Amino acid sequence: MPEALDVTCPCCEALLKVDPETGAVVWADKKKAPAKSFDDLVSRVEAQRSVLDEKFARSVQHTKRAGEILEKKFEEARRRAEQDPDGKPPHPFDNE
């Protein structure tokens, strides 16, 4: 069995061991990213925190409004049921 070939990836500069018979990559040593400064990491975390806080606030507002919307839908369904007590409610899959 011939020995695996060492190839360097031109995109990510990873060292790849390639089987010459099958052409399959049998091992990949990825190049490690350079260490970042602590200040860069702190600023990135703060930026992520602000984005997450905004998403959470939107979620809370959506949840508050969802209750109001469901209440309005229920009242409308109740009103229609009182107007036509013998009527059959719509089947949810009729519009598909």
- Model pLDDT for residues 4-47, shown as the tens digit of each residue: 899 998 888 899 999 988 889 999 998 887 888 999 999 999 99
Phi and psi at 80, nearest 5°, equal -70, -35
Element (H, E) at 91: none
Question: What digits encode the pLDDT tens for the residues 61-85?
Answer: 988 888 888 999 999 988 988 888 7
Phi-psi region of 88 (alpha: psi -120 to 50; beta: other; left: phi over 0): beta
- Between the CA of residue 10 and those of 4, 5, 46, 72, what are the distances in Å? 18, 15, 34, 60
Provide the whole-model pTM: 0.39
Q: Where do the domains of the chain lie?
A: 1-33, 34-84
| pLDDT of 52 higher than 90 | yes
